[in-house]
Amino acid sequence: MTRRDVVRALGALGIMGALPLPGLAAGRGGAPFSVESLPALEGELTLYLGRGEGGLYEDVINAIRDRNPGLSLQVRRGPTVALANTIVAEAEAGVRQADLFWAVDSGSLGLVSDAGLAQPVPEALGAGLREGFRYDNWVPVSGRIRTLPFNSDRLSLEQIPEDIMALPETDLSVGWAPAYGSFQSFITAMRLLEGEKATREWLLGMKARARQYAGEFGVVMGVSRGEVDLGLANHYYTLRLLSGQPDAPVALAMTRDDAGSLLNASGAMALSERPVAMDFIRYLLTTEVQSYLAREAYEIPMVSGVELPEGLPSEDRIQPPELELTRLADMRPTLDLMRDAGVL
């Protein structure tokens, strides 16, 4: 889809039917809304944008710019965690520069939130979000689930454990990307749910059978080439691969109610009291933007009434753990643990 297509989509209505998930139930009383119902954005705005998603977030930003010629939007890009630390450091130095922060993981949003820098989210803005994903000072934009992509020429679904902690006890070869932010959030969730001792033992057990990749799309590609039996990756990398290579021997397995099925989210927060900052976030929750991210990025829409991405595992296989996502901001003990285990 080209930038022109995105702009056209932002002007369309096309509301899709709701499809709730366990742990991702549709919201009550919050119908999806269109860009047609929003006020024009005007004035100057500085957005700190966490790098990721292959430029699709950039497409959304450019479409919003094109629709709002009175908006002067400056964008600073970088790794999400680095930008979160920059926002905190700038605030401590008394030189706040960002009006908005759009992060690719909730842990970074938690870091900024814990520093007391985020503005409260109006109740009406959060009303249309799926239940379980409504927060006081940040708004989830899209979701991603941890999965186990596996080589379907080698394995069947029944051969893969449904408990992530049992994976080191198998004889399966595994691809992972320890330096990748999503993987580190996954290990943080494991540490919070299972404890540091069990997480260290899991890392040590996996280290002997794991092949390292630079990123999680590389993990999925490695699975498809038969370099490893299965991988650890967010769901959308597999769906994106299959969209371009429908015959690739890759399928998705999921664990249940543990860190291996963590449902994480990208999100946005207003750092300025200026109304235009929160109004920009409203654009990210429109039917048009949410549908675009689900269709093109295969991410999970956070707004009730928008169809889930094609190819997502069936509802009965999606059972994420209950975990306050902003707790994923506690990353330092995770990195220390991973270094201690020799995987970083």
Annotated binding site for Fe cation: 236-237
CA distances from 335 to 12, 185, 301, 305 (A): 44, 10, 30, 38
Helices vs strands, H then E, count in the chain: 12, 11
Strand pairing class (139-151; 250-253): antiparallel
Q: Which of 101, 46, 96, 94 is nearest to 71 (CA)?
A: 46
Collapse the DSSP code of 126 into the 3-class scheme (helix H, G, I; strand E, B; otherwise coil) and give the result. helix
Show Cβ contacts of residue 139 under 8 Å, excluding neighbours closer than 6 positions: 121, 125, 126, 129, 267, 268, 269, 281, 284, 285, 302
DSSP-assigned states of every residue in 271-315: -S--HHHHHHHHHHTSHHHHHHHHHHS-PEE-BTTSPPPTTPPPG
Collapse the DSSP code of 74 into the 3-class scheme (helix H, G, I; strand E, B; otherwise coil) and give the result. strand
DSSP state of 96: -
Show Cβ contacts of residue 17 under 8 Å, excluding neighbours closer than 6 positions: 305, 307
Backbone φ and ψ of 82, nearest 5° = -65, -40
DSSP state of 15: P
Q: Residues annotated as binding site? A: 236-237
Q: How far is CA 310 from the centre of its chain?
A: 17
